[in-house]
Structure 1
Amino acid sequence: MAAPESGKHWADNARCSGQDPELFIPLSDGPREDPDEVRQLQGIALNRPLNFCASCPLAVAAQCLVESLRLDDEYGIRAGLLASERSALRDSWKHRIDAEAVSAVLRGVPVVLNEAERGEVISRFAADPALNADHVAWGLGIPRKYLWQLVREHNQSSALAPSTAIASGADAG
């Protein structure tokens, strides 16, 4: 008998695939909870979902974690981590800038970006008149008109930033 063909999407190979999603959302867990308290409150109720995660292939668990961070998933067990355990990772992820993702969007490739990456795309587009507005708008998944609005807002906030810094520096002295 031939081995079953792997799914085309990483989640097709996840051990939790087909399970009740509620199993992976402990009621007492959330992004601002203490993970140790959650584990103490939930006790053995966490064993089943965490065992599913532990039995996942490493590549699947890695994709699960990356997706949860990329989508800013605040609740539920992902990649064997409680939401409260992923909180610090989520905060770090929000502030990182993936240069490849930013470059892809500037070329017109739609990519899910965090807020810092979107800001970088707008900043680079505003600074480089050679970039194609239609490509950048497509990559961001927004209308061209809205892209130009974001550029105007970026330019206005950039023009205000130095004077704000000077004013706050004067206040400090």
Structure 2
Amino acid sequence: MGQSPTFINFSPSLNSAVQSALKEDWDPLLEAAGTSGRQWEDNAPCASYSSDLFFPEVEHPWSDPEQIRRDHSSSLREPLSVCASCPLSVSARCLVESLRQEDKYGIRAGLLASERRALLTAWKSRIDSEAVSAALRGVPTALTSLEREEALSRLSADPSLNTDAAARGMAVSSKYLFQLLRDHQQHLCDIADPIHASIGGASDE
């Protein structure tokens, strides 16, 4: 693994939560974000600024963050100062939402896009069991691709689960959910019997 990102103008508590997340412990970050409340965006200091301020042209996901911060400190000073003044719960929620939406550009919670890249990769590989359970109960929940696969696995294994509720929670139609389940079950069969899967694939050509 590469070195952990170096954070500047970053609250120690949020920095600690991010470092934990990079080590696959998401609880500190998610717990902090969970206390932000429904109107968290209204409580963010950046709400009174133009969003353009947080999308500097000098910075991209593939940039070297330390070089960008060093060479463009004057243009980054204002947006990073605004982020540094943000309450912990709000900045944590801002960061979590950017990961859920897979934002690849812009400054979020005081992190440059290039500094969030490793965090976004780690986020995509995690499975939030509670989020999956909520979706299966019918609570509209944004799931990652891995979490959706987990939901499909649970649905396939447990016939007592309500597919209509799951469709609502996953924001798909019931018809589309059945198609996803069929594809998921076929994929499992292909893994269990790769020889027949390869023969079937050849016959389709």
TM-score normalized by structure 2? 0.74
Matched with 1:42 is 72
Does residue 145 (structure 1) correspond to residue 175 (structure 2)? The answer is yes
Matched with 1:133 is 163
Three-state SS of the structure 1 residue aligned to 2:68 is: helix
Matched with 2:121 is 91
Q: State the percentage of identical aligned residues.
A: 52
4+ aligned runs moved over 6 Å, structure 1: none
Letter in structure 2 aligned against 1:79: A
Matched with 1:171 is none
1:90-141 deviation digits (Å, cap 9, x = unpaired): 0111111111100011111111111111111111111111111100000001
CA distance in 1, matches of 2:194, 2:62: 33
CA distance in 1, matches of 2:155, 2:62: 36
Matched with 1:15 is 45
CA distance in 2, matches of 1:32, 1:122: 34
Does residue 154 (structure 1) correspond to residue 177 (structure 2)? The answer is no
Superposed displacement of residue 37, structure 1? 2.6
Alignment of 1:34-73 (within 5 A): 34-73=64-103
- The question of whether the paired residues in 2 share the 8 Å contact of 1:29 and 1:83 is answered with yes
Alignment of 1:113-132 (within 5 A): 113-132=143-162
Superposed displacement of residue 162, structure 1? 2.8
* Runs of 5+ unmatched residues, structure 1: 1-6, 168-173
Q: CA RMSD in A?
A: 2.0
CA distance in 2, matches of 1:29, 1:9: 29
Three-state SS of the structure 2 residue aligned to 1:22 is: helix
Does residue 26 (structure 1) correspond to residue 56 (structure 2)? The answer is yes
- The question of whether the paired residues in 2 share the 8 Å contact of 1:26 and 1:42 is answered with no
Letter in structure 2 aligned against 1:131: L
Mean Cα deviation higher: 40-49 or 78-87: 40-49
Superposed displacement of residue 52, structure 1? 0.1
Three-state SS of the structure 1 residue aligned to 2:181 is: helix
Letter in structure 1 aligned against 2:148: R
Letter in structure 2 aligned against 1:65: L
- The question of whether the paired residues in 2 share the 8 Å contact of 1:11 and 1:60 is answered with yes
TM-score normalized by structure 1? 0.87
Superposed displacement of residue 39, structure 1? 1.8
